[in-house]
Amino acid sequence: MAVATPALHTEFSVDAATRARFDRNGCVKLRGVLDPTTVAAWAPTISQTVIDLNTEHLPLAERDTYGKAFLQVSNIWQSSEAVKSFAFTEDLARIAAELLDVRAVRMYHDQALYKEPSGGYTPWHADQYYWPFATDRCVTVWIPLQDTPAELGPLAFAETSQSFEIGRELAISDESERELQRALTEARFPVDDSAYALGDLSYHLGWTFHRAGPNESAEPRKVMTMIYVDADMVITEPTNDNQVRDLRVWMPGMRPGDIVASPLNPILYER
């Protein structure tokens, strides 16, 4: 019988200084939050679901820039009871609620983001371009499943960019990389592109601009993410086709004006 992977758990809780840093920067890299051995033990299970559920079969050279950046497999929790226990980890949802300063958070969706060996860079973008939400109270936790030094393409943030409005209308593309590199550099946002060790993770707001370098190593950059929304988040009228798709796929049956409360958006933590 297969041995269950140990549950994720952390005593870490957001203190006033961390909360202030998150409010100011729109992102925070948190060191040593999870037990490194436990995180590493999850890599084979999550990798197997990426192999099983991946729909990208073109060779790297034949893909566009977005396609070269990573294999993206979403809402694994619906297909794997094991990964569901990872994605629904209460402590990680609690930290999200503490950072957002909200009563409760819901699942928006999960995503494995595997940057293959020789995989390309992830262009600058802000996630909330894709999401039809009334407020900025939505956050992604980014959890690397191995040490992630510069050569593997760690996530990099333009700190304090969450209220910068230039480039918010750009999807992940060559254009977003070019335009945002220029605009963010001109505006002199500090960039945190520091490495992650196993057990480190980060949280970033939906409007915080971020990118990642290419994977110059011979091993995949294995990352699992969960996106949380304020449990009271109201859905807005979609402003682009990607938001129309998100509404249909991640909030089935919901309409603008509703709370994000479809069967795919359970509350994962409540104070």
Ligand X SMILES: O=C(O)CCC(=O)C(=O)O
Burial 124-154 (b: 16+ CB within 10 A, else e): bbbbbbbbbbeebbbbbbbbbbbebeeebbb
127 lies in the site for ligand X, by CB under 6 A: yes
List, in order, residues 6 or more apart from 231 with CB less than 8 Å away. Answer: 102, 103, 104, 105, 106, 259, 267, 270
Sign of the alpha-carbon dihedral angle for 78, 132, 64, 191: negative
Residues 6+ positions from 51 with CB-CB distance below 8 Å: none
**Whose structure tokens read 């995180």?**
39
Work out how close the CB of 241 gets to ligand X at its nearest, in angstroms, rounded to a whole number: 19
- In the complex, least distance from residue 225 CB atom to ligand X, rounded to whole angstroms: 5
Cβ pair 254, 243 in contact under 8 A? no
Cβ nearer to ligand X, comparing 70 with 250: 70
State the minimum distance, in angstroms, from the CB of residue 28 to ligand X.
Answer: 14
Q: By C-beta, is 6 or 115 nearer to ligand X?
A: 115
| Minimum CB distance to ligand X, residue 115 (Å) | 6
Q: Does 68 bind ligand X (CB under 6 A)?
A: no
CA distance 251 to 262: 5
Among 75, 140, 148, 162, binds ligand X (CB under 6 A): 140
* Residue 78, SS3 per DSSP: helix
Which residue in 142, 207, 250, 269 binds ligand X (CB under 6 A)? 142
Q: How far is the CB of 153 from ligand X (least distance, A)?
A: 6
Pattern 215-234, ligand X, x by CB under 6 A: --------x-x---------
Q: Encoding tokens for residue 18?
A: 């961390």
**How many chain residues are in contact with ligand X, going by CB under 6 A?**
13
CB of 199 to ligand X, least distance (A): 18
**CB closer to ligand X, 21 vs 68:** 68
Q: Is residue 95 within 8 Å of residue 76, measured between CB atoms?
A: no
Q: Could you tell me if residue 175 is left (phi over 0), alpha (psi between -120 and 50 degrees) or otherwise beta?
A: alpha
Cβ-based nearer residue to ligand X, 127 or 200: 127
Instruction: Name which of 127 and 246 has its Cβ closer to ligand X.
Output: 127
**Binding mask of the shown chain, residues 199 to 218, with x at each position contacting ligand X by CB under 6 A:** -----------x-x------
For 8-153, strand residue ranges (E) read: 27-30, 71-74, 104-114, 122-125, 138-144
Is-contact 202 28, C-beta < 8 A?
A: yes
Residues 69-108 as x/- pattern, contact with ligand X by CB under 6 A: xx--------------------------------------
Residues making contact with ligand X (CB under 6 A): 69-70, 113, 115, 122, 127, 140, 142, 155, 210, 212, 223, 225
